[in-house]
Amino acid sequence: MKKKDKVSFIVNTLESLYGEPEIPLKHKDPYTLLIAVLLSAQCTDERVNKVTPKLFTLADNPITMSNLPVSKIQEIIRPCGLSQTKSKAISTLSKKLVKYHDNKVPNSLEKLEAFPGVGHKTASVVLAQAFGISTFPVDTHIHRLSYRWCISTGKSVKRTEEDCKKFYPKNLWNKLHLQIIYFGREFCPARAHNPNKCPICKIIGRKSMFK
């Protein structure tokens, strides 16, 4: 299958299944999204969505959050795991937003990555979902599927991101990011995956996976 045909097949299949993919993490603005994405590291979106309502009831903006004791933040976010590290990061980045960014989340990859607890993927998600800036955040689902679909080598997340950006049209990056995540969860899981029944893998999956 030629590249353009492969792209069309993947895009059309995902579009037919997830035409209007919802942002999985509940939020109301760039700040609450940033906090939710930070909490989602090594944690499920479902669990984050159960924790953030209580946190955001107490503090849903940088000023209020920066005035909360770190111990209180940690107490609330404990179910998300890594609570000690994450609570300190949330408190510190909130204070930096107040002091250096006029209480507003910057729409710059470099500035976002400078905050504690905010890595490249988190920053990319915020840019895509809060500001509509074209990025291609790579999570475990996208990394796995990109290898299975012969789009990337699977050697690193960084390489997968580079390969995806070359493979897919830029104007579709933000939507595809969400569509592939939903597809990975429903049809192409890490375990108990049957490539012969997967709508995409059965057509373009690595043949070695079928053995």
Q: What is the pLDDT of residues 17-76, one digit of tens each?
A: 999 999 999 999 999 999 999 999 999 999 999 999 999 999 999 999 999 999 999 999
Tell me what pLDDT residue 197 has. 92
pTM of the model: 0.92
Domain positions in the chain = 3-21+136-210, 30-131
Q: Which residues are catalytic?
A: 121, 139
* Burial of 1 per CB tally in 10 Å (0-12, 13-18, 19+): exposed
Domain covering 30-131 in this structure, CATH number: 1.10.340.30
Q: What is the distance between the alpha carbons of residues 79 and 104, in angstroms, rounded to a whole number?
A: 27
CATH architecture of 3-21+136-210: Orthogonal Bundle (1.10)
Q: What is the distance between the alpha carbons of residues 66 and 60, in angstroms, rounded to a whole number?
A: 10
Tell me what pLDDT residue 211 has. 34
For residue 185, CA distances in Å to 43, 144, 182, 189, 206 come to: 15, 11, 5, 6, 19
For residue 12, CA distances in Å to 31, 142, 174, 192 come to: 33, 17, 15, 25
Q: What is the pLDDT of residues 104-157, one digit of tens each?
A: 999 999 999 999 999 999 999 999 999 999 999 999 999 999 999 999 998 899
